[in-house]
């Protein structure tokens, strides 16, 4: 074996590789379950922490705490990205899920305003900031680790499970809500039942913490450390790899906007514009998310065969073409099955991006700055464009120009297509040398 071959061969057994993918993806599921559990159950605990004002005021205050947690995600991405590149992927993954467990446990056990006064919402805010730091750091660490451990031939396929578990976490939170609503009276849910999902999340996170603490470090990180690679540096990441960093910001801006447009915002669009009942809209949204989750590995596998760049061009080019007609036809839909088919068609196209969003980013950067390079540009693009998707859509509707959002989405997707067209195929020119 040549020296180069020795450096790039992991000698990893199939069982070790499978355990690494399981550890990375299981933690990702728990992270996103905990993140979405707050949004799912806030309608029940809002008055526990914010008793003043009417229900709308209480919901707005819990939403404000949610927003602060969202703003903490770029900070978490930055700090955890640096930590993953300096201390190792396994250490960052373990720390991220540990922070999430702590945040969930704090929410589960914190007394309400009636017991400890203003300290209650302050503790809730602190716990949510911890969760924001955690989920912000989770993306870069897990995307990097799973991509490095996946193996060259099936890297797209295995890394697609990061998005599978992201969506699954959202679905599990929704499922826990449905189960508790069916088994507990509304009064019990409001009094104490809302704490159950946070105890569940904290417990699951402890299990994942134990699994991750026993994972092997990626060979990419081990080799880079052995070869004396420079330490990760935020400024150097942007100055030495500006093309890659700004490409990720642009791709994430467009991709996250489309994801939130067709999932989170679409739930409101189906009731507020199309005219479906909340129950019907919820059923359509749930069905599209399940289908969206299940097709991720297929598109990841396709990227291994036909290249990442082609997939990205298809996702963003197709997304730009479909944005106006999909939203326009959903707005006029009277049959929920038709609405489902239209939304799912859009998500099928977007799967050509979401399934490989992790691996494309990881393959663009050298090992010593990879986790930071994946995490921070993604978090910036996601916070500015993904996090504001619903607000922008509702603003266009409020001024009587709802179709303006369709144009905005199409324009952002067209920008993503231009970026994808200008990129080299990350699979063919991957900077992950180890197999």
* pLDDT tens track for 212-265: 888 888 888 888 888 877 787 888 889 999 999 999 999 999 999 999 899 888
pLDDT at 12: 67
Q: Do 361 and 374 form a contact (C-beta atoms < 8 A)? A: yes
| Assigned domain for 431 exists | no
| Single pTM value for the model | 0.86
Question: Containing domain of residue 120, as a range?
Answer: 3-422
- Output the pLDDT for position 56: 66
Number of Cβ atoms within 10 Å of the Cβ of 434: 21
Residue 429 inside a domain? The answer is no
Q: Can you give the CATH number for the domain in which 296 is found?
A: 1.20.1250.20
Q: What is the structure's pLDDT at 259?
A: 93
pLDDT confidence of residue 5: 40
- Tens digit of pLDDT for each residue in 328-358? 999 999 999 999 999 999 999 999 999 999 9
326 domain residue, yes or no: yes
Tell me, yes or no, whether 286 lies in a domain.
Answer: yes
Q: Kindly state whether residue 248 falls inside one of the protein's structural domains.
A: yes
Q: Is residue 53 part of a domain?
A: yes
Domain count, the chain: 1
Q: Is residue 432 part of a domain?
A: no
User: What's the alpha-carbon Rg for the chain, to the nearest Å?
Assistant: 21
In a domain, 261, yes or no: yes
Residues of the chain with pLDDT under 70: 1-13, 54-56, 435
């Amino acid at each position: 074996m040549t020296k180069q071959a020795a450096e790039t061969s992991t000698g990893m057994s199939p069982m070790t590789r499978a355990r690494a993918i399981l550890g990375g993806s299981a933690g990702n599921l728990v992270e996103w379950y905990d993140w979405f559990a707050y949004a799912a159950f806030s309608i029940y605990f809002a008055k526990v922490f914010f008793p003043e004002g009417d229900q709308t005021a209480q919901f707005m205050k819990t939403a404000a705490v949610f927003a602060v947690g969202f703003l903490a995600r770029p900070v978490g991405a930055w700090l955890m990205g640096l930590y993953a590149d300096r201390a190792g992927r396994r250490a960052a993954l373990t720390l991220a899920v540990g922070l999430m467990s702590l945040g969930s446990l704090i929410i589960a056990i914190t007394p309400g305003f009636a017991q400890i006064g203003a300290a209650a919402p302050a503790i809730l805010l602190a716990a949510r900031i911890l969760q924001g730091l955690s989920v912000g750091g989770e993306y870069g660490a897990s995307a990097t680790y799973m991509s490095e451990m996946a193996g060259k031939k099936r890297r797209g396929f295995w890394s697609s499970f990061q998005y599978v578990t992201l969506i699954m976490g959202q679905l599990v939170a929704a499922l826990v809500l449905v189960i508790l609503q069916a088994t507990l009276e509304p009064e019990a849910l409001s009094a104490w039942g809302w704490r159950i999902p946070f105890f569940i999340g904290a417990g699951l996170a402890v299990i994942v913490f134990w699994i991750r603490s026993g994972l092997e470090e990626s060979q990419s990180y081990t080799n880079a450390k052995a070869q004396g690679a420079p330490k990760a540096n935020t400024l150097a990441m942007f100055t030495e790899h500006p093309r890659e960093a700004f490409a990720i910001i642009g791709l994430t801006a467009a991709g996250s906007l489309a994801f939130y447009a067709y999932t989170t915002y679409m739930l409101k669009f189906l009731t507020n514009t199309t005219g479906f009942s909340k129950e019907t809209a919820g059923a359509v949204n749930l069905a599209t998310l399940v289908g969206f989750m299940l097709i991720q590995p297929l598109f990841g596998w396709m990227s291994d065969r036909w290249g990442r760049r082609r997939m990205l061009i298809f996702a963003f080019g197709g997304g730009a073409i479909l944005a106006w007609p999909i939203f326009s036809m959903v707005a006029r839909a009277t049959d929920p099955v038709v609405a489902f088919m239209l939304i799912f068609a859009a998500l099928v196209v977007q799967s050509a991006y979401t399934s490989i969003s992790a691996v494309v980013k990881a393959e663009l950067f050298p090992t010593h700055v990879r986790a930071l390079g994946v995490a921070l540009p993604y978090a910036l693009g996601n916070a500015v464009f993904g996090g504001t998707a619903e607000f922008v859509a509702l603003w266009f509707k409020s001024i009587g120009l709802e179709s303006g959002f369709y144009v905005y989405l199409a324009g952002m997707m067209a920008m993503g297509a231009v970026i994808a067209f200008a990129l080299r195929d990350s699979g063919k020119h991957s900077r992950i040398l180890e197999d």
